[in-house]
């Protein structure tokens, strides 16, 4: 049974959730952290971070392609 001030009862910090989203994006999440995420994290927070990460990634790729095409003179 968990103690009242057990660190396993605290919700995940923004940094911990961001690390989990980034690890999931490249497929290297450990089993220990996956269990931590399911026990202490809120699905809505992971969904929001995942959508924001995906939009940022797509925007970065779009910008890089536009830059390369511009520098190539096409």
Q: Which residue has the higher pLDDT, 1 or 28?
A: 28
Please tell me the pTM assigned to this model: 0.76
Is residue 12 within 8 Å of residue 46, measured between CB atoms?
Answer: no
7 — pLDDT class (breaks 50, 70, 90): low
pLDDT over 60 (residue 40): yes
18-29 pLDDT, tens per residue?
999 999 999 999
Residues 6+ apart with CB under 8 A from 50: 21, 24
Residues 6+ apart with CB under 8 A from 9: 2, 40
């Amino acid at each position: 049974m968990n103690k009242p001030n057990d660190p396993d009862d605290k919700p995940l910090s923004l940094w911990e959730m961001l690390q989990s989203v980034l690890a999931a994006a490249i497929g290297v999440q450990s089993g220990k952290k996956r269990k931590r995420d399911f026990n202490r994290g809120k699905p809505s927070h992971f969904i929001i971070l995942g959508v924001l990460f995906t939009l940022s990634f797509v925007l970065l790729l779009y910008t890089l392609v536009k830059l390369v095409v511009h520098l190539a003179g096409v």
